[in-house]
Amino acid sequence: MAQAYVLIKCTSQSVDSTFEKIKSLPNIIYAYKLRNAFDVITKISADSLTQLRDFVLNDIRIIDGILETLTILCITP
């Protein structure tokens, strides 16, 4: 199983609606709003790194109002 944190920067007008869309996606373990350089942080999981990448590219990044994402892979021994 692959897991990652995804930091998400949104337009100022879309933070609330984008957050609600993100929370409803499959593979989201949790999501929180932030008051920082990024607006939302999520922890996501998938069966493989390829599925994780595809989820970020095809499900998260296509949401209207998202300006930028930063994906941080979780590495476990």
Instruction: Please tell me the distance from the alpha carbon of residue 15 to that of residue 1, in angstroms, as a whole number.
Output: 29
Domain around 13 = 2-73
pLDDT bucket at 4, cuts 50 / 70 / 90: very high
DSSP-assigned letter for residue 70 = E
Q: What is the pLDDT of residues 57-73, one digit of tens each?
A: 999 999 999 999 999 99
3-state secondary structure of 62: coil
Instruction: Please tell me the distance from the alpha carbon of residue 33 to that of residue 63, in angstroms, as a whole number.
Output: 16
CATH code of 66's domain: 3.30.70.920
Q: Which residues contact 50 (CB under 8 A, 6 or more apart)?
A: none
DSSP-assigned letter for residue 58 = I
- Structure tokens given for 22: 């993100």
> How many domains does the chain divide into?
1
For residue 77, pLDDT over 60 is answered with no
